[in-house]
């Protein structure tokens, strides 16, 4: 694969530093400058302007509300993680399964209850499956 590489001019470094300090993400900096996200990140690292304490621009601000919804879904409605993810999506809050699991691990009691709910749902599905299999065998025996 050919590399898309070109030497950066001093003005480009200055612009990258200015955009980074203005709060733009690496992707936005790259798009504005006609570079890739990784090129913009490398330039900022080269300039030593990166700040590890800077909040991530894509970090969610509504986690407290989502945590409350997760808790209600698990405790009140007896949901497991997949159902919680579906409920959040139906409410317009797209969250992946892994993120819900990470949040649940920070709440040990709720996490245990979600595991119990999942075990109950698996047991109910298993009972239903085997009841259908018995009914199918009985129909075949009669025929």
Does residue 97 or residue 49 have the better pLDDT?
97
Place of tokens 């409410």: 91
What percentage of the chain reaches a pLDDT higher than 90?
52
Which residue stretches of 34-62 are H helix? 37-47
pTM: 0.56
Under DSSP, is residue 105 helix (H, G, I), strand (E, B) or coil? helix
Residue 47 has pLDDT above 90, yes or no: no
b or e along 33-53 (b: 16 or more beta carbons within 10 Å of the residue's beta carbon)? bebeeebbbebbeeeeeeeee
Asked if 32 and 24 count as a contact pair (C-beta separation under 8 A), the reply is: yes
* Nearest one of 117, 25, 29 to 77, comparing CA atoms: 117
Say what the pLDDT of residue 106 is: 92
CB-CB neighbours of 104 under 10 Å: 22
Quick: pLDDT tens for 61-109.
888 999 999 999 999 999 999 999 999 999 998 888 998 999 999 999 9
DSSP 9: P
Say what the pLDDT of residue 88 is: 93
């Amino acid at each position: 694969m050919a590399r898309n590489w070109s030497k950066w001019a001093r003005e480009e470094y200055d612009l990258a530093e200015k955009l980074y300090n203005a709060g733009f993400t690496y992707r936005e900096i790259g798009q504005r400058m006609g570079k890739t996200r990784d090129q913009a990140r490398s330039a900022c690292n080269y300039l030593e302007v990166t700040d590890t304490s800077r909040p991530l621009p894509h970090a969610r601000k509504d986690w407290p509300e989502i945590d409350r919804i997760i808790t209600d879904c698990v405790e009140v409605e007896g949901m497991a993680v997949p159902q919680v993810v579906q409920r959040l999506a139906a409410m317009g809050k797209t969250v992946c399964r892994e993120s819900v699991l990470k949040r649940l691990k920070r709440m040990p009691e709720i996490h245990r209850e979600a595991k119990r709910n999942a075990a109950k749902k698996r047991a109910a599905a298993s009972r239903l499956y085997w009841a259908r299999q018995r009914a199918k065998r009985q129909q075949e025996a009669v025929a």
